[in-house]
Amino acid sequence: MKLDVNALGTFYRMAREGAGLAAGRLTHMTDVETRAGVTKLNFMRGREIRRDFEDSTSKVGVRVELTGAIEGYSVIVFERENALRIVESLLEESATDSDLSDEAGELDEFNEMTRSAATEVGNIMNNGFIDGWADVLETVIDVSTPEFVEGRSADTFFDEVEKAPAGDDLALLFQSQIETVETQVGFSHYLFPERESMAALLDRLRTSGGIEYDKLDGFDRMAERGAEEVAKTATTLTGIDTSVEIRRLNFVSLETIPEQVPDERLVGVAFEFDGVPSGYLLFLFDEESANEIVDAMVPTGAGDTEETDGFGQMGQSAIQELGNIMASGFLDGWANVLDTTIDHSTPEFIHDIGAAAVDPVVIQLGEDQEFAFVFDTVIVAAGREFDCEVYAIPDESDLERALNDLDVDRIEEEPTTAEFQNVTGTGTDGGAGTGTDTDTDT
């Protein structure tokens, strides 16, 4: 299976088109104003999809099987509470007399009627997406009857899905958000295409030689190690026990990237890197986490006299130093496997609204490309404030070149500097599982 930017770009447009149609139909059906939020093509491993999904809220989903131009599964997922709320408002309108909850009793369980209403909502949205894709692909996609799924764990939603990606498989996943404008209810949509059908589509849409999927997979495996390495570095430097919470490779249109960053003031360190590939690397912390890091890294007393949230000279250098070492760890891993040198600039400190920190990079890349691969990682600490978002955004043509030169066998041979001490508990708790170095060197 080979892919190229043109084919992925078509997929991306298809997903956006689908999200727009689904949002429109939801509005039509419920009279609630909605809009399509962020759409992403994610390359994620099965276990990461499951980890990402399991945020301990109860969910309901409506799942259909697709055949024809795309084979696979399409699933609309909403938080259970939101689903109930939507269904409630729908049924209130249609219930002419006293069919159901007219005595102000809020629904808290799905009964036969609410269940079928929820299924209907989900199905209409699924069909919106699918019609959008069929339009872009100018083809026919057949849809099975919808299936209602309710539960908390990812297993309920994905395990019955035939050919759902296994733990280590890198799957291409389409994710879109639909948001209601007034009530802030979000829906997620997942499409799990089957590999063979995806390969056939990619072949049809490809306009260049393309990149071997196995190479992308290999590169991503290496990035996975880079992320572990970053978490480990952060733990060593700050004494805060951190781990990788989310990690994925996104393919998005450039302007989506600033939209994903939280709408609040963030503290960050940015780098440009040069080599094959070249690109930009950003580490972004929320203010509380940054404060925590400064407290951990700067000897007590020395930094305290500065304005507490101004990140004075000491604070800035501490964060820059951390960023610098994390950047080296991240990029050295890439360079080793690619058997090349990747240099990075000195760190640039930033303390500003999140999107503003990201848009200069997006603009610079935007001179030559419309889409970007983003290596997106979230590092967290159990029980403490340490939220770090890492964005590595390579220049697209350089990345393609680097991938084509990549010798997949090298990946296994290259020593991984990250140690996995405690991998037995995977899947039992959503997150903080690996690399529990207790350190004393701060």
State the residues that interact with another protein by CB under 8 A.
Answer: 37, 177, 179, 181-182, 184, 186, 254-255, 258-259, 261, 263, 265, 270, 272, 274, 278, 280, 287, 307, 309-311, 345, 348, 350-364, 366-367, 370
Q: Minimum CB separation from another protein for residue 420, in Å?
A: 32
Closer residue to another protein in complex, CB, 152/265: 265
Closer residue to another protein in complex, CB, 138/413: 138
Closer residue to another protein in complex, CB, 101/345: 345
Q: Minimum CB separation from another protein for residue 182, in Å?
A: 6
- Prior bond to 277 cis, omega within 30? yes
Dihedral (Cα; 260, 11, 210, 341), 10-degree rounding: 0
Q: Minimum CB separation from another protein for residue 284, in Å?
A: 12
Measured CA to CA, the distance from residue 31 to residue 197 in angstroms comes to 36
Q: How far is CA 366 from CA 39, 255, 359, in A?
A: 18, 9, 10
Measured CA to CA, the distance from residue 72 to residue 172 in angstroms comes to 11
Closer residue to another protein in complex, CB, 18/258: 258
Closer residue to another protein in complex, CB, 345/397: 345
| CB neighbours of residue 427 within 10 Å | 14
Helix (H) or strand (E) holding 245: strand 242-253
Q: Minimum CB separation from another protein for residue 101, in Å?
A: 25
Q: Minimum CB separation from another protein for residue 360, in Å?
A: 4
Q: Minimum CB separation from another protein for residue 138, in Å?
A: 18
Question: Which residues on adjacent β-strands are paired with residue 269?
Answer: 283, 349
Write out the two tokens for 208: 């260049």
Q: Minimum CB separation from another protein for residue 344, in Å?
A: 10
Closer residue to another protein in complex, CB, 81/169: 81
Closer residue to another protein in complex, CB, 9/146: 9
Measured CA to CA, the distance from residue 273 to residue 395 in angstroms comes to 10
- Choose among 50, 107, 112: nearest CA to 83: 107
Phi-psi bin for 360: left (phi > 0), alpha (psi -120 to 50), beta? alpha
| CB neighbours of residue 160 within 10 Å | 12
Measured CA to CA, the distance from residue 319 to residue 338 in angstroms comes to 28
Closer residue to another protein in complex, CB, 215/351: 351
Closer residue to another protein in complex, CB, 347/435: 347
Q: Minimum CB separation from another protein for residue 280, in Å?
A: 8
Closer residue to another protein in complex, CB, 154/281: 281
| CB neighbours of residue 373 within 10 Å | 28
Question: Which residues on adjacent β-strands are paired with residue 148?
Answer: 62
Measured CA to CA, the distance from residue 207 to residue 309 in angstroms comes to 51
Q: At what angle do helices 213-238 and 287-297 cross, to 10 degrees?
A: 50
Q: Minimum CB separation from another protein for residue 149, in Å?
A: 22
Q: Minimum CB separation from another protein for residue 75, in Å?
A: 19
Q: Are 233 and 29 in contact (CB under 8 A)?
A: no
